[in-house]
Amino acid sequence: MRRRGSRALAALLAALALAVSGCTGNAGTSEGPPPGSGGEARIVLGVDAVRGLDPAHLFNLTPSGDANRMAAIYGLLFWVDSATGEVHPQLGKSLTSNEAGDEWLMTLREDVEFTDGTPLNAEAVKFNYDRIKDPDTASPLADMLDGATVSTDGEYRVKLSLDEPNLAFDTIIATSLAFIASPTAIRNDPDFANNPVGAGPFKLDEWIRDYRMTLVRNKDYFRTDRPYLDQVTYLTLRDPLQRSNMVATGQADAAVPGSELSFIDVAESDGMRVASAGTGGGVMLMLNTAQAPFDDLRARRAIQLAINTDDMASVIDPGSSAPSSLYGPDSRYYTEGTLTAGDREQAENLFDELAEEDGPVTFTVSVPSSGLFVRSAEYLQSRLGEFDGVRVEIEILDNASLDQKVFSERDFQLSVQIVHVSNPEPNLAKLLATDGQTNYMGYSNPEVDQALEDGRTATSDDERLRAYNTVEELVAEEVPVLPVRQQMPYTIHSPDLEGLVLQGDGSLLYDRLQVSR
């Protein structure tokens, strides 16, 4: 891996090494860390927090983006195990529902304060949730609280009354509503997004945009024995190879390379360790069911049958494999072999049938400019080009254009995206429900909507399992999306960094990190 670096890369790494060399040692807090603790973790991410770190305006909540920074500064009320989808408490104490699932009671710990000295109590949670719900906030999370009434029941209890039952609402809280900010700081600082105040294990000390963010230990963290570290320093490098090289050369302790699983083998061969979790979802083809040619089920089925997903996964991301289910192998909902296997002969028959009616099946694959997505588009163009009745073009978009064309206007035919499904709620529901927030495919099926509803309101594990298996079967039949590569969030790290636990879509629990050097 190191042999592939260029002189420019070496210069960049040297500059970063100089930048981080002055960031080690004691954070200057009045109380030191617990015995046997201390030190600094230098972590390399892919992008800076371009819109700040306001929980109501989450933008890039991925492990290589804002999710890790948010987890360190705010902590989490509750968190989800990346592999199993199980919900656990952190700043919160308990989260329970009535039998119907339309009334939830959140109980908070009584010893949690924000780093400005104000309490993280029921009023603070209500303030944050009401702010997300307020149309003037224009929060992308507003849908998560649509139809929910938030009230307090004493100083440390929050009641959430839902207009529709949802026995999986705890997962929604743990994945999308877990970050709580200081109401006092929000009210007093118009630039709060760039001066975040939370109750997490660390607090912001310095932020040099597009370069470095330094966090120092929160000496008033509710767990007196944590965090173990004095300091966390985030560095920003867009190239995943450069991120890995920083760890391999000892200039960083951990890095999130991003979407490509091929870096795992390279990292391990260079003596690094890998913390990972096999979640559901993954790289998916998104077929726009509201535009030709994929408004015709036959065209979608033809794509499904024409693609050997095992081959595609190995080409676009060497060393990876295709998923056999929408859900991860450790999920309670996992059923191997639900997704339809390829069949070139059937695919050719469908393509020929469509071509006889309206000419060749012609479409454009619209993807972001990073390597995994471009390789996916090129794979589709190459393999589908082997069929006489198919014509495929490629459109590579920058992030702003992708956001507008695919996510906002939904003016595309086929795109390639990554969808995490550690639990059906909320990501799978957002993807497949008729009014789902990330249903860019324009897909609508009353049976799927009903199955999702049945899963949310099921009162037994067996009922919930049947409902979500029905969703998976209908997706395999109607192909609004086609999973082509398994999902495995991961962080590479030096052997000296310990205590890495992945939560949610793959960010870390920062009060558990330790350095042994």
The CATH number of whichever domain residue 155 belongs to comes to: 3.90.76.10
**Own/partner pairs for 342-348, CB < 8 Å, 24+ apart?**
342/304, 342/305, 342/306, 342/307, 342/308, 342/309, 343/305, 344/305, 344/306, 346/305, 347/302, 347/303, 347/304, 347/305, 347/306, 347/387, 348/306, 348/387, 348/389
pLDDT value of residue 19: 41
Considering the domain architecture, whether residues 349 and 459 belong to the same structural domain is answered as yes
pLDDT profile of the chain (517 residues), mean per 10: 36 40 34 65 89 83 81 97 88 96 97 98 98 95 93 98 92 94 98 97 95 96 96 92 92 89 86 86 94 98 96 92 85 79 93 96 94 95 96 93 91 93 83 92 97 90 92 95 90 95 90 91
Task: Give residue-wise pLDDT tens across range 119-168.
Answer: 999 999 999 999 999 999 999 899 899 999 999 999 999 999 999 899 98
29 falls within a domain: no
pLDDT value of residue 60: 53
The CATH number of whichever domain residue 270 belongs to comes to: 3.40.190.10
Task: Give residue-wise pLDDT tens across range 382-400.
Answer: 999 999 999 999 999 988 8
16 falls within a domain: no
Considering the domain architecture, whether residues 343 and 242 belong to the same structural domain is answered as no
Considering the domain architecture, whether residues 388 and 368 belong to the same structural domain is answered as yes
317 falls within a domain: yes
Number of folded domains that form the chain: 3
Considering the domain architecture, whether residues 431 and 473 belong to the same structural domain is answered as yes
CB 120 within 8 A of CB 48: no
- Residue 156's domain spans which residues? 45-193
Considering the domain architecture, whether residues 254 and 285 belong to the same structural domain is answered as no
pLDDT value of residue 222: 97
126 falls within a domain: yes
Considering the domain architecture, whether residues 501 and 466 belong to the same structural domain is answered as no
Considering the domain architecture, whether residues 452 and 493 belong to the same structural domain is answered as no
d(CA 315, CA 328): 21
Q: Which of 137, 169, 193 is the last residue of a domain?
A: 193
pLDDT value of residue 27: 32
Considering the domain architecture, whether residues 175 and 213 belong to the same structural domain is answered as no
pLDDT value of residue 422: 73
Classify the phi-psi angles of 361: left when phi > 0, otherwise alpha if psi is within -120 to 50, otherwise beta: beta
30 falls within a domain: no
The CATH number of whichever domain residue 413 belongs to comes to: 3.10.105.10
pLDDT value of residue 59: 56
pLDDT value of residue 157: 98
Give the bridge partners for 217, in sequence order.
202
Instruction: Kindly provide the b/e burial profile for residues 459-484, where b requires at least 16 CB atoms within 10 angstroms of the residue's own CB.
Output: eeeeebeebbbbbbbbbbebbbbbbb
d(CA 459, CA 455): 9
Structure tokens at 57: 């305006």
d(CA 472, CA 461): 16
Considering the domain architecture, whether residues 269 and 412 belong to the same structural domain is answered as no
Q: What is the pTM of this model?
A: 0.81
Q: Which of 193, 223, 256 is the last residue of a domain?
A: 193
pLDDT value of residue 387: 96
pLDDT value of residue 248: 93
Considering the domain architecture, whether residues 292 and 353 belong to the same structural domain is answered as yes
d(CA 329, CA 219): 39
Considering the domain architecture, whether residues 380 and 462 belong to the same structural domain is answered as yes
78 falls within a domain: yes
